């Protein structure tokens, strides 16, 4: 797969505002990593599932990243909070923002976009 390709991830209806994430695997910087897509205020966003405080997965239950209010993405381990629309640190022990993955949404399908350091996992 070449740089800048759009890869189908899920149906638009799979992502509800403040709801469960859709997980997917990527190769980032040469390593296989978990990533996730969410919907916030009507728009879709995706990030590596890696807290910037300590490089570990953030979800406290499978595919759950939002706090109870549906306004923040939380790291279950140390409580770092991130803005769902930008991935920037909003509070707690984080060092920088989440690694954002470009998404697009068209005709009922959400796609993620490859980059020089972000490629699909080939089986």
Identify the CATH assignment for 6-120 out of 3.40.640.10, 3.40.50.300, 2.102.10.10, 1.10.10.10.
2.102.10.10
Tally of CB atoms within 10 A around 121: 10
What distance in Å separates the CA atoms of residue 48 and residue 59, rounded to the nearest whole number? Answer: 11
User: Where exactly are the structural domains of the chain?
Assistant: 6-120
pTM value is 0.92
- What are the CA-CA distances from residue 49 to residues 1, 58, 87, 106, 108 (Å)? 22, 6, 11, 24, 24
Cα distance between residue 89 and residue 105, in whole Å: 25
State how far the Cα of 7 lies from the Cα of 40, in Å rounded to an integer.
21
pLDDT tens for 38-81 read: 999 999 999 999 887 666 788 878 899 999 899 999 988 878 89
At 6-40, the pLDDT tens digits run 999 999 999 999 999 999 999 998 999 999 999 99
């Amino acid at each position: 797969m070449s740089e800048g390709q759009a890869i189908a991830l899920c149906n638009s209806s799979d992502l509800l505002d403040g709801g469960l994430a859709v997980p997917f695997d990527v190769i980032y910087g040469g390593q296989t990593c978990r990533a996730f897509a969410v919907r916030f205020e009507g728009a879709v966003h995706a990030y590596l599932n890696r807290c910037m405080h300590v490089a570990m997965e953030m979800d406290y239950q499978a595919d759950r990243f939002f706090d109870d209010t549906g306004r923040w993405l939380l790291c279950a381990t140390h409580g770092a909070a991130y803005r769902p629309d930008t991935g920037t640190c909003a509070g707690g022990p984080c060092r920088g923002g989440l690694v954002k993955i470009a998404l697009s949404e068209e005709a009922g399908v959400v796609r993620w976009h490859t980059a020089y350091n972000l490629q699909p996992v080939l089986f």
